């Protein structure tokens, strides 16, 4: 997992649910955005990597909020536009997803997960990048 405890961020923050909770190795905690359009979470891997797949652990409650998730990769947050995978959803509580890159690999430094919703929350327990 090249994302473990790397610098991460999110589009907004709901109370004390920090972005670092999304890649801390603990599936019992989770990050959480505020209610907004197209919420997202990202991780800076610190170097360029070939990305094969991303594993996601959904939150144990309100899991059906996870839907229309796009994973993109790029050299920077603003340029993370190369789509790796898509999950239509909705997900189940605590669901473990393995989203593989549609081609063989994607190369990038920043991995961004965006929930393409009119208005919603984004909260995931853990994200691992391989």
Average pLDDT along the chain: 96
d(CA 21, CA 26): 8
How many Å is the Cα radius of gyration of the chain?
A: 13
How much is the pLDDT for 99? 96
Per residue in 93-107, pLDDT tens? Answer: 999 999 998 777 789
Q: Are 21 and 41 in contact (CB under 8 A)?
A: no
Per residue in 76-85, pLDDT tens? Answer: 999 898 898 9
Q: Which fold has domain 8-129?
A: Jelly Rolls (2.60.120)
Q: Which SS3 state, helix, strand or coil, does residue 63 take?
A: helix
Residue 118 has pLDDT above 90, yes or no: no
Tokens 């909260």 appear where?
123
d(CA 123, CA 65): 8
The domain spans of the chain are 8-129
Q: Exposed, middle or buried, 40 (CB in 10 Å: 0-12/13-18/19+)?
A: buried
d(CA 68, CA 7): 24
Give the global pTM.
0.94
CA distances from 88 to 3, 27, 96 (A): 23, 22, 14
Per residue in 5-30, pLDDT tens? Answer: 999 999 999 999 999 999 999 999 99
């Amino acid at each position: 997992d090249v994302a473990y405890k790397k610098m991460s961020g999110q589009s907004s923050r709901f109370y004390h649910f920090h972005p670092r909770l999304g890649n801390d190795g603990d599936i019992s905690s989770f990050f959480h955005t505020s209610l907004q359009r197209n919420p997202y979470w990202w991780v800076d891997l610190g170097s360029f990597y070939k990305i094969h797949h991303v594993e996601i652990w959904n939150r144990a409650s309100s899991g059906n909020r996870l839907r229309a998730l796009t994973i993109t990769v790029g050299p920077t947050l603003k340029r993370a536009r190369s789509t790796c995978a898509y999950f239509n959803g909705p997900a189940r509580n605590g669901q473990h997803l393995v989203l593989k890159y549609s081609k063989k690999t994607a190369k990038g430094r920043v991995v961004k997960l965006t929930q393409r919703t009119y208005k919603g929350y984004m909260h995931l327990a853990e994200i691992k990048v391989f």
